[in-house]
Every structure is written in C-alpha cells, then in structure tokens.
Amino acid sequence: MAINWLLLVLMPLLLVGAEARASQGMHVQLPHGGWLVGRHRTTHSGRHMRAFMGIPYALPPLGDLRFRPPVEQPAWQGERLAVKDAPVCMQRDPFRRDMTIEGSEDCLYLNVYTPDPVAVEPLPVMVWFHGGGWQCGSGISSFYGPDFLLEHDIVLVSANFRLGALGFLSTETLDCPGNNGLKDQLQVLRWVHANIAAFGGDPHSVTVFGESAGGASVTYHMLAEKSRGLLHRAIAQSGTYFNPWAQPAHDGVAAQRALKLSELLNCSDASSDWSAKLKCLRDKPAEDIVAKLYDMFVWDFDPMIPFPPVIEPEHEGAFLTLRPREAQAPHGQTLPLMIGVTAEEGLLKTAALLNLPHLMDEFKSYFEQLLPIVLNYDHHDAETQQQITRHIESFYFKSGHNYNKSNHQNLTDLISDGWFVAGVDEYLQLRLDEQQQALAPTYVYLFDHKGAASFSEIFKGAHNEFYGACHAEELQYLFPIGEQLFVSAVPTRQDLELRDLMLRLWVNFARTGDPNPVIGTSNLPTWRPTSKYPVEYARLGSKLDAMDDGTLPPLLRMEKALLQHRVDFWRELKAHLPVSRRPQQHNEL
C-alpha cells in the first residue's frame, strides 16, 4: 500500500522529467542561432523519430522574386515551430488528368527526419527529389513520408521546388535565364551542407536520390559544377538528362513557349520587350499561370514537359551552360551511382491509351503525326520524322497496329524505351566509356515485380488488372505512398519482403556506396557493380507467385545486358540520323 502511495506521488514528477527530456530532443539550434521545434513521430513499426517539417530554405518566390533564382532564407531569432507540412508548390497534374489547381506559390520548404534518440555518431543523409515531370508532385507531402526509411539509421531530407512555368520558364536571355526549379534544389543541397550536422547528419555523406524528373535532376547535379562537393553518392530512378523529356530544350523553344504563355495571359504586344512581358507576368495571379499548362500541350499531355531545363547564357548564377553531351568529365563520374528502370515504364502513357477508347482511336488514326510529338522528335524536318517513324514501326509493330488490353507489350515497350530506357542506357554507355577516368562503382537495376497494387491504376489503368511493372512502381516499397493511393490493396508476403530488401539496399548504398549488406549477414546474392558496357544488373522483384512448397521466388537476381535488343535498336537509330538534318549541336531524337 505504501509503495502504491509513493508511486502516485512520484508519477507526475517522472512524467514531467520524461516530457522535458523528450521536448529537449525536439529543439534544434541552427548554426545561424535560431531554433527549430519539431515533433515526435513513429515509423511503420513504431520506432521513434523526430520530424522537423516546413523548414524554409529560401524566401517565398513571390512578387518580384517570381521567375528569379531562390534567395536564401535569412536567419531568425528565437524559436520557430516546425511541426507540419508546408503547402505543395502550385501545380496541375496532367499524368492523373487532373484539372484541379492546388498548392501555393509560397512553397520553398523542406522536411528533416531523424531517429529518436539522436545518434552519437553523425548519420548518413538521404536527400529526396520527387518526380512529376517538373510540373507536379511534392517532396514534403505524406506520399514521401519517412515511415519506412526511418526504420534505419539515416537522416532523411525531402523538399519542394518550383514547378512548371513558375519553376522553369526561360526567355533564353538574362531577363529570365531559367532552371529556377533546379536552382531551388541546389539551394536545398547548400542548406543541407550548412545545417544538417545540427540534426545529427553527416554533411560529408549526402546521397541524393530521385525518381523520374527527380532522377534526371540527380544526374543534372552530377553534371553541374555548382553542385560539386554537395553530394557524395547518387541514386537515379527512371530518369537521366538523356531522357528526351529531360533534355535541355532546343535553341529558341523555351523562348517561344515563354512568348506563348505571355500571349495567353495578355502580356504581349508588338512593342513590349522581355522585361515588360515578365513584369506583366509577375503581376498575374499564380493560378492564372498554372492554369495555362494544358494550353501548352499539342495532343493529350504531349509534349510531356512543356517547360524542361534549358541551356542558360553565361552569367554568375547559371546552373547549366553546357549541353550534357558536351561535358568531358562531369564530377559525377567520381560518385558511386545506383541507377535503373522499371520493366514496363511506358504504362505511364499506355495505361490511358488502353482504357480511354477515344485516346487509342486518335493514336492509331494519326500515328504518323502523333508519334514524333509523343517521343520528342518533332523538331526534325518532315522527311526525317517519317524515316524515324518507319524504323520504329518495323521494329515494334511487325504485325501492324493491333495492340489492345490483352496485347499491349510492344506498345508499352515502345513508350518505355523512347521515354526512359534508351536515355538511361545512353547515360550508362557514356559513364562506362573506357576513356573515362576515376569512375566510381555503378550499380544497375531493373525493377520487375507484380505487387498487390500497381501505379498503372493512377495513370487511368483499370483497377485490379495487371499490365506490368509501371513507371513509379518501386516508390511504394521505399515510401508509404501506397497507403494513400491503394487503400484497399493488401500487401503480399512477397511485397513485404521486397520492401525490406529494397530499403536495406538503398540505405546500405547511402551509408557506404555499396548496396550489399555486410559480408556474412545475408544470404542474398551479391549485387555486383557493372564496370563495362553492356551492363550487368540486378533484377529486383518477381512476377511469379509463391512456389508450391510456399517458398518465394528470388527477389534479387544478377543478369547481363539490360534489355539489350531494344536499346541496340535505339542506339542504331540515333547513329543513322542524317547528319545534315540533325539540329545543330543536338544529336538526339
């Protein structure tokens, strides 16, 4: 009885002490002297972590700062609450065929997640750049939460960056050189370098990873001199700067699109120069600018990215002044790289073609006119476009255009290769060129798994129909994105094991530059780096069900020559384009 009475007296004091210790860990002082107050969260399994959310890394790009590079967030005094997500950057989502405009122009914020309690030794840092074609998505939405990755001892940083015209408009002059969305990412990396030690992260062990446009962004930072020293390892998922939608716009294209946007918004007349047009555009509501995205498409949501990166005129703040093919030895050659694609990337496009009859009818009826737009080779003259189209038809459609929901693999392969695989393959060819010096390890994968849910549903594919390992499919094994997108899907045992495997591979790579576990701690086959072309790669996942005895098919298998027959076709196609008809300095489709 006396013991119970004593506990009743002491319990409030014990709770106060525990709360004080917990709240102490949620306070972080940044090098400039100001404080952040975060919040406690738990991972998928209940592991404790700290979350610092909605941290400003640049001033709101409003008013005169619209269409300009990010301006570093100044220091503050005292405490600042960092307990909830900031708004997404203002956008429309063409991939989900969404007409809604959402988000805010005031969106340059990032999140930091760490284990709780804080580790004694500095932890490796993983910085996430989201996909979405540089026109939709958000790094700090709950889609890309820390629920899975923070099961491991890392510091995770995810960030917003400006999208669409607000992030990538370019006049191709010093009035608005462009690439502001990529410059936002650069500012994130600078912020991480300056501040992450305060959260227990190691500023000298930063892995930048991203998917689709986020993956292409990773390769741009491996190219840009301003990013040198700010990243130490890289993971590029389904995207490089050689993918046709990610390549710098041809000379004059960006300016033409900036002019079209100004005309759509009544900001252009015969006497106005770029300065006047930009002033007018800065006075327009951000929603009006974002609303015009669909007016920039020619057919469906093609060309896929109306406002891609650009080659800037030389100036002090330029991020990209050299075309990737002209770079002799990018600093990224010395960084360990993990890179790969999904087996049916093209479902990003073909899922809708297979399930929206009017789209398929148009695609088949106007194939010769539409394919150059869809695959980004409409900058060539008409004869060259026809030549390319004939080669593509003879390779993918030997039996004619008879594709449908039960016979779509060649159509899906065409979009997969034209949009994703050929660009990743070219990046690997150049990286693994025998003349390159000081090449760091390169780990290549093919994600090829049938899970309980597929991203093809998001891109207007039919529910409960499996077409293949769609673009973005691997994301649900790294982030809790599936819990919101696929609420009725029950993960299979294979799904759970694959998730555990991929998290370990990604985190091991972020720690050491090698995805393999410590020798003797796993019965997995060794994922060997590839050192020459054609590449050796790891096939991740399985489309097979469990064996009769209940055992699962292997979820990591080493194979050689990634989709070689198909990438050989694209390499030969590019090599045989008439030299006189290639755009000056651009050797791309």
- For helices 347-355 and 409-416, the axis angle rounded to 10 degrees is 140
For residue 286, which of 109, 132, 90 has the smallest C-alpha distance? 90
Reduce the secondary structure of 250-309 to three states and give it as a string: CCCHHHHHHHHHHHHCCCCCCCCCHHHHHHHHHHCCHHHHHHHHHHHCCECCECCCCCCC
Long-range pairs, 63-67, Cβ under 8 A, ≥24: 63/282, 64/282, 66/105, 66/166, 66/281, 66/282, 66/286, 67/166, 67/169, 67/176, 67/180, 67/278, 67/281, 67/282
345 given a catalytic annotation: yes
For residue 376, which of 259, 298, 291, 295 has the smallest C-alpha distance? 298
What is the DSSP annotation of 535-554?
A: PEEEEES-SS---TTSPPPP
By three-state DSSP, how is residue 490 classified? coil
C-alpha dihedral (287, 290, 291, 297), degrees to nearest 10? 180
Reduce the secondary structure of 448-486 to three states and give it as a string: CCCCCCCHHHCCCCCCCCCCCCECCHHHHHCCCCHHHHC
CA distances from 261 to 63, 257, 289, 519 (A): 18, 6, 8, 57
By three-state DSSP, how is residue 324 classified? helix
125: its two tokens: 């840092």
227 given a catalytic annotation: no
Catalytic residue among 345, 473, 474, 536: 345
State the Cα–Cα distance between residues 243 and 30, nearest whole angstrom: 39
- Please, are residues 354 and 360 in contact by the beta-carbon 8 Å criterion? yes
Catalytic residue among 212, 262, 416, 456: 212
For residue 220, which of 135, 340, 332 has the smallest C-alpha distance? 332
- Please, are residues 310 and 178 in contact by the beta-carbon 8 Å criterion? yes
State the Cα–Cα distance between residues 127 and 56, nearest whole angstrom: 16
For residue 570, which of 323, 300, 211, 242 has the smallest C-alpha distance? 242
Q: How many CB atoms lie within 10 A of CB 509?
A: 25
Catalytic residues: 212, 345
